[in-house]
Amino acid sequence: MTMERYIRAIAGSFILLSLLLGYLYSPYWHLFTAFVGANLLQSAFTKWCLMEDILSKLGVPKTG
């Protein structure tokens, strides 16, 4: 799997998990959803993504 697919899968998982936690435990978990969304938005403009740096250090290839 390429890095872009990992990032999409991780972001989607974080969003769904934080929505579930917000529904079950505390609406403050929705702030995490907003953080993930803001990160995705800023990476579209700056072309920098923290998760990409983390995955790169773990050895995930950028291309297939």
Domain boundaries of the chain, sorted by first residue: 3-57
Q: Rg of the chain's alpha carbons, rounded to an integer?
A: 13
Residue with tokens 């998982």: 13
Model pLDDT for residues 2-60, shown as the tens digit of each residue: 999 999 999 999 999 999 999 999 999 999 999 999 999 999 999 999 999 999 999 99
For 37-56, letters b (16+ CB in 10 Å) and e give: eebeeebeeeeebebbeebe
Place of tokens 């995490």: 32
d(CA 3, CA 13): 15
pLDDT of residue 63: 82
CA 52 remoteness from chain centre = 10
